[in-house]
Amino acid sequence: MIPRVSLSQFLIEAQREGQLDADLRLLLEVLARTAKALAVTISKGVFAGIHGEAERINVQGEMQKRLDVVAHELILQANAWGGHLAAMASEEADQVVPIPERYPRGGYLLLFDPLDGSSNIDVNISVGTIFSVLRNPRLDGSVPTEEDFLQPGKEQVAAGYAIYGPTTQLVVSFGKGVHEFTLDREFGAWFLSREKMQIPLETNEFSINAAYERYWYSPVADYIRELRAGREGPRRRDYTQRWVGSMVADMHRILTRGGIFLYPVDRKSKGQGGKLRLLYEANPMAFLVEQAGGLAIDGVERLLEIVPQTLHQRVGVAMGSKVEVERLRSFYKRRSESAPFPS
């Protein structure tokens, strides 16, 4: 039998090498445990009572699914008592959630999208959990506020996601490459399945919701037209399109075999700045993509450089294989140096 490295062994060895401290290790272990619990629940489907709407509207103005709420509460509870966090922020909570008074406050802040790809829950398509870890800037033990979370993505100390698909996997980076762990259900444990993942430089796959084509600005429209022209066009090779509608699933494919993922600011989403949320969707994915040798931009700027203004801020996203993301960026730059998102 091939010797397997468990997540715990991997993290302890990384800690020994000084790549992370005990609190960050505990945080990653807790997140892995919640992902395991969610994977079990999701696999029970309708019999776990998690399908359908929760009859609650979240801060984004979206109807919450039952599983959104279950995942949100599970992650909050599991992370409340360990002493590793000072506060949390979630897609499903309006405000920052402080650690309850009765527990010690730690040196990290956790941001998460408890259940990404909610619209796919009821139809048995892969969904995921995305997370981002920042340092708690408050050294005096006081309660963190929203402002403490408004750090550019390059300040992340760790990020990752769990994907609940045919296989349940956890993809994590704490700044020394991207590593994938696979859940062995019989053992109830995570084992290392890929170390130091690298996004292939070139690719022939792109990922965008083409139903919004009529809203695209010309840089995206021109770039996609070029890909669709295939071998008869300027790129001289055929491309294919994939769109799951769960960012986690689309990005997992791209981290595995390359490609570009786009959710741009378009004429429809301009008013709110895009669709995906900067702090707990775009930034953690951008961190992983860069750690895996890819590129992640809002069209022009590196996503990880953006200084957030609000907790639930949205942003345009293009990320994946370097060659493709650079090519798209050249279309944005051609359009106008000063106004990349024209009205």
- Give the binding site for ligand AHM (CB under 6 A): 62, 91, 113, 116-119, 209, 245-247, 263
Q: Contact region for Mg ion (CB under 5 A) — 116-124, 169-177, 267-275, 303-311? A: 116-124
Residue pair 56/50 in contact by the 8 Å Cβ criterion = no
118 binds, among ligand AHM, Mg ion, none (CB under 5 to 8 A by kind): ligand AHM
Q: Does 205 bind Mg ion (CB under 5 A)?
A: no
Q: Which of 113, 148, 250, 290 binds Mg ion (CB under 5 A)?
A: 113
In angstroms, the CA 113 to CA 160 distance is 11
Contact region with Mg ion (CB under 5 A), list: 11-19, 72-80, 115-123, 220-228: 115-123
Nearer to ligand AHM, 116 or 205 (CB): 116
By CB under 5 A, tell whether 68 contacts Mg ion.
Answer: no
Query: CB 108 → ligand AHM: shortest distance, Å?
Result: 23
Closer residue to Mg ion in complex, CB, 129/203? 129
Residue 209 touches which member of Mg ion, ligand AHM, none, C-beta under 5-8 Å by kind: ligand AHM
CA distance 227 to 297: 19
Residue 132 or 246 with smaller CB distance to ligand AHM = 246
In the complex, the smallest distance separating the C-beta of residue 268 from Mg ion, rounded to whole angstroms, is 18
Phi, psi (5° rounding) for residue 303? -55, -40
Give CA–CA dist 223/211, Å, rounded. 16
Least separation, in Å, of the C-beta of 62 and ligand AHM?
A: 6
Nearer to Mg ion, 117 or 340 (CB): 117
287 binds, among ligand AHM, Mg ion, none (CB under 5 to 8 A by kind): none
Q: What tokens were used for 78?
A: 């599991």
Cα distance between residue 107 and residue 158, in whole Å: 13
Q: If we measure between CA atoms, which residue out of 107, 156, 162, 161 comes closest to residue 133?
A: 156
Instruction: From the list ligand AHM, Mg ion, none, pick the one residue 308 interacts with, judged by a Cβ distance below 5 to 8 Å according to partner type.
Output: none
116 binds Mg ion (CB under 5 A): yes
Check: CB of residue 112 under 8 Å from CB of residue 75: yes
Cβ 281 to Mg ion, closest distance in Å? 5
Q: Is 92 in the site for Mg ion (CB under 5 A)?
A: no
* Total residues interacting with Mg ion, rule: CB under 5 A: 2
List of E strands, 58-167: 63-65, 85-90, 97-98, 108-116, 127-135, 158-164
User: Which position has the token pair 């800690």?
Assistant: 15
The residue type of 270 is K
Residue nearest to ligand AHM (CB): 247
Say if residues 316 and 298 touch (Cβ distance below 8 Å).
Answer: yes
**Smallest gap, in angstroms, from Cβ of residue 28 to ligand AHM?**
22
- What angle in degrees, to the nearest 10, is found between the helix axes of 322-335 and 218-228? 130
Question: Residue 115 Cβ, how far from Mg ion at the closest point, in Å?
Answer: 8
| DSSP assignment letter at 142 | P
The answer for residues whose C-beta is within 8 angstroms of residue 190's C-beta and 6 or more apart is 6, 7, 32, 36, 170, 181, 182, 183, 184
Residues within the interface to Mg ion (CB under 5 A):
113, 116
